[in-house]
Amino acid sequence: MNAARLPSVAPEVTATLVEGLSPRLRKRLDVAVTKLAARPTHRDGDTTTIDVDDETELRLHAPGGVVAKVEDITCRCLLAPACVHRAAAACAAPAADLAPEPAEQATPEAPGPASATPPAATLGPDAARSLGLDVAPASGPGTAPAPTTDTAANAALGLAPHVTPNPAPDLASPPETASPDQRAAADVLWAAGAAVLEAGVDGAGAVTQSALLRAAHTARLRHLPRAAGAALSVVTLLRAARAGDPSYRTADLVTALAELLGTAHRVGTASGAEMAAVRGRVRRPYSPDGSLRLYGLFTEPVVTDSGHGGVRTWVAGADGRLFTVGDVAPGGAGRALGVADRAVRLGDSALTHRELGRAGLAVSGATVSPDGRLGAGKAVKAVTARGVAWTDPPLAALWETPPAEQAARALRSTSRYADRDGTGSDLLFLHVELLGAVREPGGTCLLALCEGGVRVWLTVSDDDPALAHRDNLALLAAAPGARLRIIGRLIPATQPRLTLLACTHPTGEGTVDLGLDRLRRADLPDPSASAHFAPPQTAGPGGSSPLYLLERRVEQTVAAGRAALGLLGDVTAETRRIRRGGLPTAAALLTALSASAAQRERDLFGRLLPADTDGFAAYWLAAARYTAAVSESLCAAAWNPMDEDPAAVPPVPVHGAAG
């Protein structure tokens, strides 16, 4: 049974069913989930039936595609409704997206002074001093450490900037802070996240996931959708890891777990605008943007791990702003290919997505979300207009910004733990000369030279054989010396790296949507050429950085849990190497993290006391946030022009592109 074949189940439904099990059945829950996953299922309308055995059926009723009530999961076994099957089915199904916040909210409590995060989520002065960092005297119990002069240390220890609001001129309207209920919900989220670190992927079974789902539901009711969404992401990734999903990456779970713990930590200290960012939003707001003249750039297929497929078409305004029009729904790669030739859902336009990527639109009554998505409300009017080539205004201006500036902008947009304001884009627009293919452990990528002598590694955005990415990249590798304009999505790495999305045609006629359009060998300057492999390349500025030694321990904790990390032994050699690499804060964090993992105290009778899961989680979070900050700095540095005579780096002329 594929989990994608089951309807989504509301987080509170799964949590309630698991909490209702007896201790004996909870121990059997993970085994029950595995057994149930092997049973056949069939769907009839809104009801999905699982054959538990030859005589027993389990039914999930999902009006609207979501199981919203506990009563909607029924079982016909003799032990029902107190059986393990109902909880196992809920745990095997995907977690439903968070419902919108209740329309009618309780009268908010009068905001009080910013409260420090409780000791469970605080890296206190003693812990900070153990890292060799200065800490200002506390002004009260639980006060967060003062910022230090070490930027990396601030990123590591602060977990988020500690905001001390200036006295408001109007004392009747102090900055917004978290309510007691919100701080309590944040404490529960922190505890649930710390439990995942304690257990690791192998130990974070259905019961641990249920605690996360309950915490997410409570956080949503307390109007903390950002933290609730992070908890759901952790559950989804834990399930993917335990199921052996080939698309699962430990780094993704590290990011989700650090986002959960970091957001929970900040709830107690944030105020004003920071509190609004920490709280987040459930719905994507669309605001009026008047009349827009839009010019098509390209269309990319979108295929998600959850089984959804579709396309996203990128357009630019006359002022250079980027917008998107999308159509994504359940269906996978097959749907993505089909939707590309369907009409765009925007006003009265009859353009398909493929056509819009090369044409234009005139829109009146436009509505736009903060991340640039165009709304398709009834009041929006859109008619087809003329497009322009990438070499003509206003699109040509997108390629005029230096690559380093574009990379810095994209990093601000993709930063793992930044407060999302929805602005900015992770796309880069580059002039390149193709150098050939480069073999890597994960496959082959395309090497190109861009402005300033910077070498850029170009990879495919999706390996699905139904899409054209891989075949097109292989053909382009057979055209060394070709000079193109490209559009790619930044991959944060210690070397300049992009996923290649679109380019000018090698013949100079038009453009190519590399996920949808298929190049032919006849399109190459030399149709008889085969793939050219460039010489091995040296790593970028951060390629030899010992930061990976700390990153490896951060990931090992997520995979195996705190106890396993504590058994890995002495890290003196590793910390010495990290210090030689110029990262003393990283060395101090590794020392503290390993010591905290191994620390277990005993009582007067020699019995082991419970581990300090909160303290360990704080050290782990500091290490995760620090490695992310340093990695992003190394990525930005990699895009700086080579330190050589500008005359030695010839400009890269580019073929024109017809609209």
- pLDDT of residue 156 exceeding 50, the answer is no
Among the residue ranges 115-119, 465-469, 531-535, the one predicted with the least confidence is 115-119
Among the residue ranges 110-119, 249-258, 299-308, the one predicted with the least confidence is 110-119
Residue 143 token pair? 């006060």
Selection from 17, 121, 113 nearest residue 67 by Cα:
17
Convert the pLDDT of each residue in 339-393 to its tens digit. 999 999 888 788 999 999 999 999 999 999 888 999 888 889 999 999 999 999 9
Residue 97 has a pLDDT of: 79
Sequence-ordered list of residues with C-beta below 8 angstroms from that of 335, at least 6 positions apart, any chain: 309, 310, 329
- pLDDT of residue 129 exceeding 60, the answer is no
Please report how many Cα atoms fall inside a 13 Å half-sphere around the Cα of residue 228, on the Cβ side: 28
Query: Which residue has tokens 């056509």?
Result: 355
How far apart CA 615 and CA 413 sit, in angstroms, is: 31
The CB density around residue 68, as the number of other CB atoms within 10 Å, is 18
Residue 123 has a pLDDT of: 40
How far apart CA 15 and CA 278 sit, in angstroms, is: 25
Residue 599 token pair? 């620390």
DSSP notation for 570-639: --HHHHHHHHHTT-HHHHHHHHHHHHHHH---B-TTSPBPPP-HHHHHHHHHHHHHHHHHHHHHHHHHHT
How far apart CA 314 and CA 324 sit, in angstroms, is: 5
Widest pairwise Cα distance in the chain: 83
- pLDDT of residue 213 exceeding 70, the answer is yes
The CB density around residue 346, as the number of other CB atoms within 10 Å, is 21
Residue 239 has a pLDDT of: 94
Cβ-contact 514, 501 below 8 angstroms: yes
Cβ-contact 635, 543 below 8 angstroms: no
Residue 526 has a pLDDT of: 82
Residue 366 has a pLDDT of: 92
Residue 109 has a pLDDT of: 34
Which helix (DSSP H) or strand (DSSP E) does residue 155 occupy? helix 151-158
CB crowding 243-252: b at 16 or more within 10 Å, else e: eeeeebeeeb
Residue 370 has a pLDDT of: 83
What average pLDDT does the segment 275-279 reach?
90
Which helix (DSSP H) or strand (DSSP E) does residue 58 occupy? strand 57-61
**Banded model confidence at residue 119, pLDDT cuts 50, 70, 90:** very low
pTM over 0.85: no
- pLDDT of residue 132 exceeding 60, the answer is no
The CB density around residue 539, as the number of other CB atoms within 10 Å, is 11
The dihedral region occupied by 422, where left means phi > 0, alpha psi between -120 and 50, and beta the remainder, is left
What average pLDDT does the segment 140-148 reach?
33
Please give the residue that has the higher pLDDT: either 277 or 417: 277
Query: Which residue has tokens 């986002």?
Result: 259
Amino acid at 305: D
Residue 157 token pair? 């220890």
What average pLDDT does the segment 309-314 reach?
95
CA quadruple 615, 617, 618, 623: dihedral positive or negative?
positive
287-303 sheet: strands from edge to edge: 322-330, 308-317, 287-303, 360-368, 381-385
How far apart CA 356 and CA 96 sit, in angstroms, is: 33
How far apart CA 455 and CA 440 sit, in angstroms, is: 15
In degrees, to the nearest 5, what angle opens at C-alpha 434 toward C-alphas 431 and 438? 130
DSSP at 120: G
Query: Which residue has tokens 């891989």?
Result: 470
What average pLDDT does the segment 59-66 reach?
91
Convert the pLDDT of each residue in 543-552 to its tens digit. 578 999 999 9
What is the total residue count of the chain?
Answer: 659
Residue 194 token pair? 């710390």
Cβ-contact 642, 602 below 8 angstroms: no
How far apart CA 463 and CA 442 sit, in angstroms, is: 11
Residue 628 has a pLDDT of: 93
What average pLDDT does the segment 562-581 reach?
90
Among the residue ranges 80-84, 188-192, 258-262, the one predicted with the least confidence is 80-84
- pLDDT of residue 337 exceeding 90, the answer is yes
Residue 497 has a pLDDT of: 95
How far apart CA 365 and CA 380 sit, in angstroms, is: 5
